[in-house]
């Protein structure tokens, strides 16, 4: 779940350079704080962020906060517009998305690839407005938009008394997927802090308002504490990882540096692992969140095989709603001088 923190820069950078892609940096990298239970950091005054370097961020946040009162379908239309603007100006992210799609879906032609890249940026734009809804919309408003399927699988898992790991992936609906679980009951969420300090502080406050626990992606101990408390923990470990818990695991048949710690966490905690995938429905009709049955025989004796098994599930979901996957992220970058396929 490593992507809810580095992807909110669309409005700010749209205002700075008409869309270097604010949302590409703050909306998708959920990292959690090191404190485990995350009360709002009331000891940090927002006056700390009154300086001029934060003004573009305040302006962008004020804009999406104001627009979040609009009808949902209007917000999705505006999100598509924002995404179209970002497509024009965010050359780096456009290049990364195009190359990722070319590597993962070589069967589609150039025209199809171009349409998918544009649709992906529209999805990114919509996710910006979704982040505003996740932060500020009431439970009642979101419940009218969200349908969670498979709650019976989660309830059965929690009856074991060891919590449950809801294994998700980095789609542009990431933030909405996490908030949807909180609508159903007490939930712990793992995330990464955004680099922008103001966004980091506000995201921590807003997540603390909805989730029982917000857990740093670095804090395995707090994750285990959450599972011991019999909480479902939302966890998306599918992003690039070069740490000691990493291995190279094929994703769409391409070597990808991958966090394989899920197997160890499941073994230590005894928690069942359930795949969880959010989907934005067409025509502004809301969201479908699917909790799949627990993975039988997970973990195995081979963490790499376990990660490959989850990658295969992600691939199925990507093909189902390809524009909603986070194509603009450098998923296939590897260590070493020749490990960056995105270098131009």
Quick: pLDDT tens for 96-152: 999 999 999 999 999 999 999 999 999 999 999 999 999 999 999 999 999 999 999
pLDDT of residue 218: 72
Number of domains the chain is built from: 1
Asked if the structure places residue 107 within a domain, the reply is yes
Spatial contact of 280 and 287, defined as CB atoms under 8 Å apart: yes
Asked if the structure places residue 4 within a domain, the reply is no
pLDDT of residue 205: 79
On the 0-12 / 13-18 / 19+ scale of CB atoms within 10 A, 40 is middle
Asked if the structure places residue 218 within a domain, the reply is yes
Residue 30: pLDDT above 50?
no
Residue 69: pLDDT above 50?
yes
Asked if the structure places residue 344 within a domain, the reply is no
Asked if the structure places residue 276 within a domain, the reply is yes
Mean pLDDT, residues 18-37 taken together: 34
Domain region containing 44 = 10-324
Helix ranges (H only) for the chain are 10-17, 23-26, 55-67, 72-89, 91-104, 110-136, 139-143, 151-158, 174-184, 197-210, 220-228, 261-269, 303-320
Q: What CA–CA distances, in Å, run from 337 to 249, 257, 341, 343?
A: 19, 15, 10, 10
Asked if the structure places residue 60 within a domain, the reply is yes
Average pLDDT, the chain: 86
Asked if the structure places residue 333 within a domain, the reply is no
Asked if the structure places residue 250 within a domain, the reply is yes
**Rounded to two decimals, what is the model's pTM?**
0.85
pLDDT of residue 28: 33
């Amino acid at each position: 779940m490593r992507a809810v923190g580095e992807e909110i820069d669309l409005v700010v950078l749209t205002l700075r350079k008409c869309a270097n892609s604010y949302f590409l940096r703050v909306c998708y990298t959920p990292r959690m704080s090191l404190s485990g239970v995350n009360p709002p950091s009331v000891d940090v005054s927002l006056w700390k962020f009154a300086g001029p370097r934060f003004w573009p961020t305040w302006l962008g946040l004020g804009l999406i906060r104001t627009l979040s009162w609009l009808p949902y379908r209007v917000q999705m239309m505006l999100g598509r517009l924002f995404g179209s603007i970002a497509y024009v100006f965010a050359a780096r992210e456009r290049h990364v998305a195009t190359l990722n799609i070319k590597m993962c879906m070589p069967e589609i032609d150039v025209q199809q690839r171009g349409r998918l890249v544009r649709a992906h940026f529209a999805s990114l734009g919509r996710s910006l407005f979704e982040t505003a809804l996740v932060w500020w919309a009431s439970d009642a408003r979101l419940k009218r938009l969200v349908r969670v399927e498979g709650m019976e699988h989660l309830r059965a898992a929690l009856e074991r008394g060891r919590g449950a790991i809801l294994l998700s992936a980095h789609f542009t609906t990431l933030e909405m997927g996490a908030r949807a679980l909180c609508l159903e009951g007490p939930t712990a969420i793992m995330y990464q802090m955004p680099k922008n300090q103001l966004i980091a502080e506000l995201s921590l406050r807003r997540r603390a308002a909805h989730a029982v626990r917000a857990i740093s992606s670095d804090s395995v101990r707090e994750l285990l504490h959450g599972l011991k408390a019999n909480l479902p923990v939302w966890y998306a470990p599918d992003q690039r990882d070069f740490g000691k818990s990493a291995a190279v695991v094929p994703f769409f048949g391409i070597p990808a540096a991958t966090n394989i710690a899920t197997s160890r966490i499941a073994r230590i905690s005894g928690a069942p692992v359930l795949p969880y995938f959010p989907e934005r429905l067409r025509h502004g009709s809301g969201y479908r969140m699917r909790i799949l049955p627990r993975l039988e025989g997970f973990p195995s004796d081979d963490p790499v095989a376990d990660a490959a098994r989850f990658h295969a599930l992600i691939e199925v979901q990507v093909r189902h709603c390809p524009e909603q996957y986070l194509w603009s992220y450098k998923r296939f970058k590897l260590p070493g001088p020749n490990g960056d396929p995105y270098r131009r």
